[in-house]
Structure formats: C-alpha cells, structure tokens
Chain A
C-alpha cells in the first residue's frame, strides 16, 4: 500500500512534467536542442577516435624492432642471441632472418636480381626481428628494450620500424584527453542550461508552490516534478544527440568508404556502440536530474507561504 502510494506520486509527477513540457513545445524544443548538441559533440569526438583506432587497427599495434648484427657475426651466434632475448618478459617473439634468407627476399621483391649476382659476397648481416609484448609498447618500454639490444657488442644498429605508430598513438591520447575536456565543459553547460530552465519554471509556478506548501506538501513533493522535468530534458537531449550522431555517420559513410577503397581497405564507419549509447543516455539523464536538483535546492527553499 505504502509502495503503491509512492509509485502513484511518482507517476503523477512524471506525467505532470511530461504534460508541461508538451504544452510549451517551442521552449522545450529549444532547450532539448541545446542539450542535444552539447551531448552530441563529445560523443562525436569519441566516435571519431574509436573509428580512427579501428581503421588503423592492425597497424596500431604493429610495433616491432629490427636488430641488425655486425657483419660477420655467424648465424649460430645470432640464434644464441635470439634465445637470450626470448627470455625477457617484455618480448613476445624473436625471429632470426639469416643473411642468405634476407638476400633471397631482397632478390625476389626488389627486382635487382641480376645486379645482385654481380656481388661477390652477401653484403647483408643477420637480423633479429623482435616483436614486443602488447602491454610493453609504451615509449619508455621500447626505449629500454632498444638499449638492451644496443648494449650487445655483436649489434650494429637497432631500428624501431614503427615510430609513426607511436606518434599516432600519442595523437590519439591527446584527442582522448580533448574529448574528456569537451565532455566536462559541455556537461557543465548542460547543468547550467537545465538549472536555469528549472529556475525559470520555479519562478513561474511560485503561487502554485506556495499553495502546495500551505496545504502540507513536503519539500520532496514540491521538488519532485521539477526533478522529473530535468530528467526528461536529459533523456530527450540524449535521444536527440543519438539522432545527430547517426545522421552524421550516415552522411559520412559514403565518402569514408571511398577513401578506404583508395587505400585498398573495406573499412566502414561504425555508429555509436552500446557502451557509447549507455554513457550518452546515462550521462544525459544524470546531468538533467542533477541540474534540476541543484536549481530546486537553491530556489524552492526561499518560497514559503505568506
């Protein structure tokens, strides 16, 4: 019975708030638009990063190292060194590319076959191809691995083949931070918009609030419809942001596919995933509710029946 009364009160407050929003369609639409845009912007940035990451997915993790041994270091020694390197916990894989094998590959792919025949001996050294473990691809990890190989007397040069991958990952990290900043700023914006909208509504309904308090309405009762209004603003704004994101993906889909094709890829743009949508709606609802709550705390207390 008690629970039923509770549910009834909440249902009444929710329906009342819905009805009120519906009676002012223009004002409601404008507020929703502002909230929707504020939510869509950081979500779109996040989506961009996710797509950039998956578009370069294979490459993004292909950090590897070529360790060139001094000319004249025999293959047996190279095998031995490879065995030692495999013991390190930050090394996933070490492949020995023998000088002969390297020359054969070069002959095959370079088209210099005839010219190479003129050489008296194989100018290529034995090479160790090293793939670090996936969790050890940070700049500091790679540097310590490079030093490890460079310290060996048999080693001529250590070449980090994929520095651009590191740069790319660093750019993504910067962008991710930017998304965070945008999300915080625009979230504060949503709070302010909802808070101000609720403040105006509280002032508009001053007489009603006074009478309600006079006949014994508790603060919670008076506050409830405003909290639901804020929550609905957040929900509506999140839904609008979703529509904006999907529309943007739709508009971009064709040109992105064309671009991917030019790179010989079949990559297709991904829309917002389940977790992204969850964050969008969860964040929208939470911000709307919180903005309304802050505003109600500030303004409802001052309204007492005279």
Chain B
C-alpha cells in the first residue's frame, strides 16, 4: 500500500527532513510512526498525501509513484486517502454534516448517497444526531471524531493521521485510537504519526521510529518489513 524506497526530502530552506528512508506498509496494516518533534513524521505523511514530493528516491502509494504523478491527477489520488489532523481542520462555519460530506461532494457523489454515507460515518464515530451542530458546539474529542468521520466517509483504502490525539486527554486519546484500529480491522490501511508511547504500547501495533530524518528502528511489534535505514 505504501512503499518508501531510499527517500530523502530537502525543503527549499535547505533543511533535510528525511534522509534515505525506506519502509513498506502492507494493505490493511496499522502502523505507528513515532519519534520526537522534528524527526520527520509529518514529512513522511506529507509525502504520502502528496502535499510534498520526494527530493530523492520514490514514494509509491496505492500503486502510484508520487514523484511523477501529474498535477491534474492529484485530486483523484488524494480521494483515495483519508486524512486526520491534530487540529482536525474542520470548517467552523459549516455544520457537522457539511464537514463530513465534503469528500463526497468534491467526488461528485449523488445527494442520496451523500446523505446515507455521512450518516453511516457519523454512526461509526458515535455522533449520529449531531449533524446540524457547528463544530464549535462540540467537545474537543467530538470534533476530532468528526474529523475521523470525514476521513472515512468516502471509504478510502488508506487513512493517515497526524498526531490525532495531540490535544486530547489519555482516555479520549485511547478512544480515538481504538476507533482508528477498528477501520484497520476491516481492511483499511492506517498510518498514524504520534509521540504518545503509552498509546503505541496499548494498541500493540507495528511501530516505525524516526530520529533526525532517519529510521532508527522498529518498536514493539517489530516486523521484517524495514528494508534498511542507511
């Protein structure tokens, strides 16, 4: 599902965020990406979502190499990925329903289908009945669940999450992670960047540890997927 081959990323300001990173994540896997701030976690996620392209090496997502994908094919590429943010990035002036429906609307789904799927997604995150509320009227944990509902509503084969529990207390964090695990249980590939070691231990999933832009090793549930780190 995700394949990094000797990937380096240097930003225009000269900072090298990733150096020679290689790993592979199979379809249906749930993987944690850990490391301190600035270790390169966000850069890995940006390369996956095609917000950035690799400077060297190749990133293959869903069978497509991101380095050569034409700009006009990027929207279709992104529709295959559900993204969850630390600050959830909900539209404050739109009710919950509209926020969750956005990926379906941009994909041009028929209205009936949108209605059905949005309700199903809200049901999955336990927020059915709050469609008409504005994000500000919800608790922080609920807002994050709306963000997850938006990420899964179009049933993408891949979900990536950048510090999805960064603003949540431990109980809520665990709840959100379990929610994400449920999607991986039904075959969705899930890649989560987090620095919350407690949660990584609790869920006992494979862990890729980054330090200063390089793969330092595999945590807890180490698997032989890591090809090399240098």
Contacts and interface: CB of A to CB of B under 8 A. Distances in A.
Main secondary structure of the interface of B (DSSP, over half): helix
B17 to A, nearest CB: 14
Interface in B123-158: 150
Contacts of B51: 214, 304-306
A211 B89 contact: yes
Contacts of B105: 12
Nearest to A1: B110
Given A214-B49, A215-B106, A304-B51, A207 B89 contact: yes
A278 interface: no
A215 B108 contact: no
B103 interface: yes
B78 interface: yes
Interface residues on A, range: 20 to 34
B132 to A, nearest CB: 16
Given A304-B51, A305-B51, A216 B91 contact: no
Contact of B75 (A9, A207, A210, A218): A218
Interface in A192-224: 207-208, 210-219, 221
A1 B76 CA distance: 19
Contact of B102 (A5, A6, A212, A305): A212
Nearest to A215: B103
A304 B52 CA distance: 10
A159 interface: no
Given A215-B83, A216-B75, A5 B91 contact: no
A218 B79 CA distance: 10
Given A207-B89, A211-B89, A306-B51, A5 B110 contact: yes
B203 interface: no
A215 B110 contact: no
A22 interface: no
Nearest to B76: A216
Interface string B172-209: 00000000000000000000000000000000000000
Interface string B58-93: 000000000000001001111100010000010100
Contact of A216 (B72, B89, B103, B110): B103
A9, A213, A214, A216: which has the most chain B beta carbons within 10 Å?
A: A216
A8 interface: yes
A276 B77 CA distance: 48
Contacts of B72: 218
| Most chain B CB within a 10 A radius of its CB, from A4, A207, A211, A306 | A211
Contacts of B91: 207-208, 211
A217 B89 contact: no
B111 A215 contact: no
A268 B168 CA distance: 77
Interface string B21-59: 000000000000000000000000000010100000000
B111 A216 contact: no
Interface string B100-122: 00110111111100000000000
Interface of A: 4-6, 8-9, 12, 207-208, 210-219, 221, 304-306
Given A215-B78, A215-B103, 6 more contacts: A211-B91, A216-B75, A216-B107, A217-B75, A218-B72, A305-B51
A-B pairs, top 3 by smallest CB distance, nearest first, are A216-B79, A217-B106, A216-B78
